[in-house]
C-alpha cells in the first residue's frame, strides 16, 4: 500500500462512501446553482419566487447544525432530562420570532440586522456597531460546527487526530465559499434538510425495531434511588439499578442493558429534572466543603440554583433564535408577509419533527453503548453517539450496521457543512461589504470587492478553523447555547425594542446592545477558559492560567451559573439600558419615526413601503 493511503487503514468503506458522496454532491450542487445567481442581490430577488415548501426546507436546513444533529443526542446521553430543553427551545425560538419580529422586519425590507439597524436609526455608525456582533456570534457558532467536523472525521478515519479533521473540513468549506460555490442557495439548503431528517430518523426506526422503542429504553432507568440493604453492597458504579418495573432490562428481552461506567450519571439524576447539567456548579461547590457539611449544603442550594440555571437557559435559547445572523436573511426570500408567516409555521413543523429523534439516540446509547461515557468530553465522548450507535446492528445484521452508520455520518456532514457555509457567507458578507466596502475603501471597484470577498472568506475560515482546534474538550451543544446567549443579549433586545417602542434612540440601542452582548460574551469566554484549563491534554497547559478560576467558582456556585448561563441577567440589563439611555437622549429620536413605525406595522396591502422609499429618495436630493 502506498504510504499516503496509510490513513485509510481501519476505514469502513460504507461509512466513507456515504460521507464522500454527501460532500461531493453538496459542493457540486453549490457550483451548479451558483452559475445561475451571480451576485448577492440576485440571491435576494430571485429568491422571492421560491415557494413556501422549498423556503421552509431551506431555512430548516440552514438552522439544523452539528449541535442539532450530534450535540443534542450527546448531551441527552451525558446529562439526561435537562438537555431536552435544548431541542424544545431551539424550536420554540421560531415561535417568538413569528410573534414579535418576523412580520414587521419583513415589511421593513431590511435584509440583515445591520441593514435594519441603519435603516431604523438613520445611522451608518450604528450599522458598524451592529456588524461587530455578526462576527462575535458567528465565531461562537462556528466553533461547535468545527468540533462536529473534527469528531466525525476522527470517527471515519480512526488514525487521524482531531485537529486534522477540523483543518480538512474547514478548508474544503472555506474554499467552496470563497470560490462562490455556496451563496446560501435555497435548493442546496433545502436538500440538506431532507438528508438530515432521513439520516436521523431511518437509523432510529431500524434500531428501535431491533432493540426496543424510546419508551422501553427509558423505562429501565429508575426514577427513585435504589434502596440500599444494610450489609449488602451498595449499588455503585458498574452495577445498573433496576428500572421502575424492577428489572434492569427490557421485559421482552429485546436488549440487555450494559452496566454503566463510573463516569456515567446515576439513573435517578439522569432521568429526573435538575440533573447533572444544571447542578454541576453546586455539586462542585459541595465537593469543596468538608464531608459532614455537604448534605445540608446540597439540600439548601441544589434545586433552587438548578431552577435558576434552567430559566436562564430557556431565555437564552428562545430569545437567541431571533438574533442569529444567518437566519433572518432567509425570511426575505418570501414573496410577501403572508407567505413569510406560512413559511415560519412550516419551519416549526419541519424542525419540530426532526427534534423528536436526536434524544432517542442518547437514550438508547445510554443503555447499549455506555462505554462512550469514559471519554466524556473528548472526541471519543458522547458527542459521537449518533455516528457510532448504528454500528451495533453489525453484530446481528453484518453490513447493515455500517450502512446506517454511513447514513448518520452523511447527515452529520450535511449538518455542519450547511450551517458553517451559511455562517461563513453572513460573516464574509459583513466583513467584505461593511468593513472593506464602506469603511476602508468606499471607492473600490466591483472587481476589487470580489477579491475582498474571497480574501475575507479565507480570513474568516482560517480564524474559525483555528478556534475550532481549541474546543475539543467542550460539548457541541453547550457551545451553540453560548452563541444563542450572546445573540439573546445583543440582537434580540435591539430588534424587539426597535420594532415595538418608538422612543428608542440610536444611543440607547447601541449602549444596551454593546453592554448586554459584551457581558454575555465575556461570561461565556471565562466559562470556556476555566473548563479548558481542566483538560488533561494540551489545552489544559495552554489555559492553565485560568485554573484558579475553578477554585473561585467552587466557593461561589451562583456566580458560576450566572457566567455559564448569562441570559437571565444580560437580557434584562440590555433592555433596561436601552430604555434609560433612550429616555435620556429622547431629543434624538429619528424625525420620521411615525412613518418608520407605519412601515413596520401597517399591512403591506396599503403600499406604505413604496411610498416611504420614494420619500426617502426625494429627500436625499439629486
Partner 1 sequence: MSTPPSPPDAVHSEEFLRLLMRRQLKLSVGSAATFFLAQLGMPLLNYFAPAMMATRVAGFTLSWLILGVLFFPFVWVISWSFIQRSMALEEDEVKSIKR
Q: Does 261 bind partner 1 (CB under 8 A)?
A: no
Query: In the structure grid, which three cell numbers stand for residue 159, read together?
Result: 488514525
How open is the CA angle 100-103-106, to the nearest 5 degrees? 130
Question: Site for partner 1 (CB under 8 A): which residue of 44, 198, 301, 311?
Answer: 311
> How far apart are alpha carbons 233 and 533 in whole angstroms?
36
For partner 1 (CB under 8 A), the number of binding residues is 62
Indicate which single residue of 57, 79, 186, 216 sits in contact with partner 1 (rule: CB under 8 A): 216
**Least distance in angstroms from the C-beta of 184 to partner 1:** 24
Closer Cβ to partner 1, 314 or 444, answer by number: 314
Nearer to partner 1, 274 or 416 (CB): 274
> Measured between alpha carbons, how far is 578 from 512 in angstroms, rounded to an integer?
5
Select from 140, 33, 93, 21 the least CA-distant residue to 482: 140
- Compare residues 263 and 341 and give the one whose CB is closer to partner 1: 341
Binding of residue 617 to partner 1 (CB under 8 A)? no
Residue closer to partner 1, measured from CB, 312 or 533: 312
Q: SS3 sequence, 326-348?
A: CCHHHHHHCCCHHHHHHHHHHHH
16 binds partner 1 (CB under 8 A): no
Q: In the 3-class helix/strand/coil scheme, how is 32-71 assigned residue by residue? A: HHHHHCCCHHHHHHHHCCCCHHHHHHHHHHHHCCHHHHHH
| Residue 345 interacting with partner 1 (CB under 8 A) | yes
For residue 21 the three cell numbers come to 458522496
CA dihedral 24, 30, 36, 40 (to 10 degrees): -160
Q: Minimum CB separation from partner 1 for residue 222, in Å? A: 10
Sign of CA dihedral 82, 91, 474, 7: positive
In the complex with partner 1, which residue's Cβ is closer, 47 or 87?
A: 87
Report the phi/psi class of residue 171: left, alpha or beta, with left for phi > 0 and alpha for psi in -120 to 50.
Answer: alpha
Q: Which is nearer to partner 1, 271 or 324 (CB)?
A: 271
Contacts (CB under 8 A) with partner 1, residues 49-108: 81, 84-85, 87-88, 91-92, 94-96, 98-100, 103
For residue 90, the minimal CB distance to partner 1 (Å) is: 11
Q: Which is nearer to partner 1, 133 or 357 (CB)?
A: 357
Instruction: Map residues 279-308 to x or -, x wherever contact with partner 1 holds by CB under 8 A.
Output: ------------------------x---x-
DSSP 215-261: HHHHHTS-SSPPP--TTSPP--TT-PPP-TTS-SS-TT-S--PPPPP
Q: In the complex, what is the shortest distance from the CB of residue 464 to partner 1, in angstroms, rounded to a whole number?
A: 31
Rounded (10°) angle between helices 476-500 and 72-79? 110
For partner 1, which is the closer residue by CB, 99 or 287?
A: 99
Cα–Cα distance for residue pair 90/48, rounded to 1 Å: 26
Shortest separation between residue 145's beta carbon and partner 1, angstroms: 24
Helix%, strand%, coil% for the chain, nearest 5: 75, 0, 25
How far apart, in whole angstroms, are the C-alpha atoms of residue 147 and residue 153? 10
- Residues in the chain, total: 622
Identify the CA nearest to 570 among candidates 610, 520, 617, 526.
520
Stretch touching partner 1 by CB under 8 A, among 171-179, 415-423, 578-586, 596-604: 596-604
How many CB atoms lie under 10 A from the CB of residue 35? Answer: 8
Q: Is 160 in the site for partner 1 (CB under 8 A)?
A: no
Taking the complex as a whole, how short is the minimal distance between the CB of residue 281 and partner 1, in angstroms? 17
Q: How far is the CB of 449 from partner 1 (least distance, A)?
A: 32
- Nearest of 199, 131, 152, 27 to residue 476 by alpha carbon: 152
Taking CB under 8 A as the criterion, the residue among 79, 240, 310, 391 binding partner 1 is 310
CB of 441 to partner 1, least distance (A): 34
Using CB under 8 A, which of the segments 33-41, 116-124, 191-199, 344-352 binds partner 1? 344-352
The yes or no reply on residue 247 touching partner 1 (CB under 8 A) is no
Q: Is 219 in the site for partner 1 (CB under 8 A)?
A: yes
Instruction: Figure out which of the listed residues 36, 209, 223, 616 binds partner 1, where binding follows CB under 8 A.
Output: 223
Nearer to partner 1 by Cβ, of 171 and 308: the residue is 308
Q: How far is the CB of 220 from partner 1 (least distance, A)?
A: 9
3-state secondary structure of 607: coil
Contact residue for partner 1 among 149, 218, 471, 520 (CB under 8 A):
218
Binding site for partner 1 (CB under 8 A): 81, 84-85, 87-88, 91-92, 94-96, 98-100, 103, 213-219, 223-224, 244, 271-274, 303, 307, 310-311, 314, 318, 337-338, 341-342, 344-345, 348-349, 352-353, 355-356, 359, 500, 594-595, 597-598, 601-603, 605-608, 610-611, 614
Amino acid at each position: 500500500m502506498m504510504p499516503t493511503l496509510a490513513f485509510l487503514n481501519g476505514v469502513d468503506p460504507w461509512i466513507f462512501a456515504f460521507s464522500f458522496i454527501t460532500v461531493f454532491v453538496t459542493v457540486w450542487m453549490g457550483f451548479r446553482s451558483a452559475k445561475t445567481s451571480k451576485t448577492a442581490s440576485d440571491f435576494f430577488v430571485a429568491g422571492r419566487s421560491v415557494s413556501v415548501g422549498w423556503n421552509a426546507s431551506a431555512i430548516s436546513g440552514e438552522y439544523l447544525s452539528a449541535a442539532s444533529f450530534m450535540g443534542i443526542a450527546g448531551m441527552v446521553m451525558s446529562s439526561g432530562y435537562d438537555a431536552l430543553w435544548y431541542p424544545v427551545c431551539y424550536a420554540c425560538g421560531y415561535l417568538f420570532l413569528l410573534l414579535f419580529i418576523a412580520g414587521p422586519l419583513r415589511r421593513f425590507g431590511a435584509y440583515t440586522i445591520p441593514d435594519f439597524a441603519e435603516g431604523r436609526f438613520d445611522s451608518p455608525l450604528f450599522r458598524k456597531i451592529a456588524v461587530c456582533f455578526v462576527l462575535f456570534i458567528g465565531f461562537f457558532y462556528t466553533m461547535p460546527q468545527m468540533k462536529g467536523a473534527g469528531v466525525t472525521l476522527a470517527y471515519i478515519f480512526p488514525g487521524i487526530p482531531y485537529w486534522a479533521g477540523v483543518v480538512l473540513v474547514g478548508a474544503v468549506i472555506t474554499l467552496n465559499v470563497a470560490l462562490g460555490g455556496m451563496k446560501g442557495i435555497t435548493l442546496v439548503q433545502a436538500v440538506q434538510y431532507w438528508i438530515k431528517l432521513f439520516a436521523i430518523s431511518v437509523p432510529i426506526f431500524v434500531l428501535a425495531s431491533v432493540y426496543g422503542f424510546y419508551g422501553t429504553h427509558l423505562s429501565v432507568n429508575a426514577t427513585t434511588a435504589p434502596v440500599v440493604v444494610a450489609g449488602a453492597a451498595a449499588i455503585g458504579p458498574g452495577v445498573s439499578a433496576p428500572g421502575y418495573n424492577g428489572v434492569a432490562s427490557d421485559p421482552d428481552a429485546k436488549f440487555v442493558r450494559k452496566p454503566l461506567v463510573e463516569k456515567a450519571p446515576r439513573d435517578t439524576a439522569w432521568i429526573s429534572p435538575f440533573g447533572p447539567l444544571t447542578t454541576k456548579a453546586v455539586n462542585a461547590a459541595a465537593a469543596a466543603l468538608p464531608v459532614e457539611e455537604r448534605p445540608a449544603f446540597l439540600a439548601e442550594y441544589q434545586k433552587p440554583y438548578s431552577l435558576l440555571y434552567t430559566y436562564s437557559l430557556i431565555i437564552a435559547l428562545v430569545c437567541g433564535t431571533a438574533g442569529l445572523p444567518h437566519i433572518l436573511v432567509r425570511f426575505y426570500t418570501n414573496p410577501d408577509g403572508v407567505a413569510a408567516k406560512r413559511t415560519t409555521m412550516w419551519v416549526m413543523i419541519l424542525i419540530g419533527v426532526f427534534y423528536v429523534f436526536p434524544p432517542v439516540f442518547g437514550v438508547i446509547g445510554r443503555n447499549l453503548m455506555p462505554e462512550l461515557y469514559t471519554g466524556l468530553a473528548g472526541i471519543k465522548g458522547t458527542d459521537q453517539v449518533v455516528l457510532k450507535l448504528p454500528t451495533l446492528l453489525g453484530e446481528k445484521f453484518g453490513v447493515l450496521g455500517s450502512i446506517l452508520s454511513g447514513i448518520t455520518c452523511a447527515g452529520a456532514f450535511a449538518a455542519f457543512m450547511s450551517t458553517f457555509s451559511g455562517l461563513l457567507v453572513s460573516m464574509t458578507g459583513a466583513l467584505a461589504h461593511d468593513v472593506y466596502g464602506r469603511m476602508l475603501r468606499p471607492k473600490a471597484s466591483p472587481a476589487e470587492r470580489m477579491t475582498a470577498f474571497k480574501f475575507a472568506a479565507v480570513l474568516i475560515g482560517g480564524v474559525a478553523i483555528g478556534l475550532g482546534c481549541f474546543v475539543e474538550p467542550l460539548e457541541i451543544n453547550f457551545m451553540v447555547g453560548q452563541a444563542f446567549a450572546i445573540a439573546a443579549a445583543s440582537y434580540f433586545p435591539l430588534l424587539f425594542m426597535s420594532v415595538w417602542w418608538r422612543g428608542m434612540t440610536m444611543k440607547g440601542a447601541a449602549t444596551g446592545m454593546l453592554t448586554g452582548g459584551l457581558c454575555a460574551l465575556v461570561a461565556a469566554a471565562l466559562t470556556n477558559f476555566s473548563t479548558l484549563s481542566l483538560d488533561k491534554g494540551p489545552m489544559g497547559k495552554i489555559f492553565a492560567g485560568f485554573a484558579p478560576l475553578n477554585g473561585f467558582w467552587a466557593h461561589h456556585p451562583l456566580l458560576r451559573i450566572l457566567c455559564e448561563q448569562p441570559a437571565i441577567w444580560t437580557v434584562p440589563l440590555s433592555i433596561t439600558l436601552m430604555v434609560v439611555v433612550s429616555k435620556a437622549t429622547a431629543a434624538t429620536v429619528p424625525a420620521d419615526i411615525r412613518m418608520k413605525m407605519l412601515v413596520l406595522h401597517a399591512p403591506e396591502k396599503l403600499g406604505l413601503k413604496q411610498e416611504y422609499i420614494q420619500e426617502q429618495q426625494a429627500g436625499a436630493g439629486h
